[in-house]
Structure 1
Amino acid sequence: MTSEPLDAVAHHQILGFLRGTLAGLLGVEPGQIRAATRVFELPGIDSLKALQAVLATEKRYGITLDASRMLLTLTVAELAALVAATVEEQRR
């Protein structure tokens, strides 16, 4: 793998993937999942749905997210940033 940093487009794609995945699990439109929304304040979210979103994201990007770092993420955007950072870390 290359060591080039992820660009803003790639980060935006990760955010879009998360929004789409969460929306599918919650039965809402992706546009209803705002980046600044706290993950556990999303309507209809529970720990199982959050875990399903994490597992789908790990599979999609070929990564393993650090659970202790994940607990520090509050918003959908912060989760996307964690995914982007993990992709960079794990491809080195």
Structure 2
Amino acid sequence: MITPPDPPLPAEQISARVRTLLAEVLQRPPAEVDMTQRLTALPGMDSLHLVQTVVTCESQWNIQLDEEELFDVRTGDDLCALIRRTADAREGTI
């Protein structure tokens, strides 16, 4: 029996989790994390925090984000879109 692929991850679920992860890394309330702002402009964000966030996201969704595509990620929303595309491709939903 063939198991159908998991349904695509809801964008709202990804966004909420990434916002929470960023808030934890930056030690701020999630409401203070603007997902449309450049990640590098978030208060307290540095390269180590960015790497920590990416590694945590990869672990959270059991994915490997493409390094070249990560260079195009500018905002939290961009990161969420990349996570969703990667997870959906892994599940064969794209």
Q: TM-score, normalised by structure 2?
A: 0.88
The number of residues matched between the two structures is: 89
Partner of 2:71: 71
1:73 alignment partner, SS class:
coil
Alignment pair present for 1:23 and 2:23 = yes
Question: Deviations along 1:23-51, whole A, 9 cap, x unmatched?
Answer: 01111000111121111111111111111
Structure 2: how far apart are the matches of 1:76 and 1:87?
Answer: 16
Give the superposition deviation at 1:3: 6.4
Partner of 1:82: 82
Structure 1: how far apart are the matches of 2:29 and 2:6?
Answer: 35
State the Cα RMSD in Å. Answer: 1.4
Alignment pair present for 1:11 and 2:11 = yes
1:72 alignment partner, SS class:
coil
Partner of 1:91: 91
Structure 1: how far apart are the matches of 2:80 and 2:65?
Answer: 11
**Ranges in structure 1 where 5+ consecutive residues have no aligned partner:** none
Structure 1: how far apart are the matches of 2:67 and 2:40?
Answer: 15
Structure 1: how far apart are the matches of 2:34 and 2:12?
Answer: 13
Structure 1: how far apart are the matches of 2:67 and 2:39?
Answer: 15
Partner of 1:50: 50
**Identity of aligned pairs, percent?**
28
> Whose radius of gyration is greater, 1 or 2?
2
Give the superposition deviation at 1:65: 0.2
1:12 alignment partner, SS class:
helix
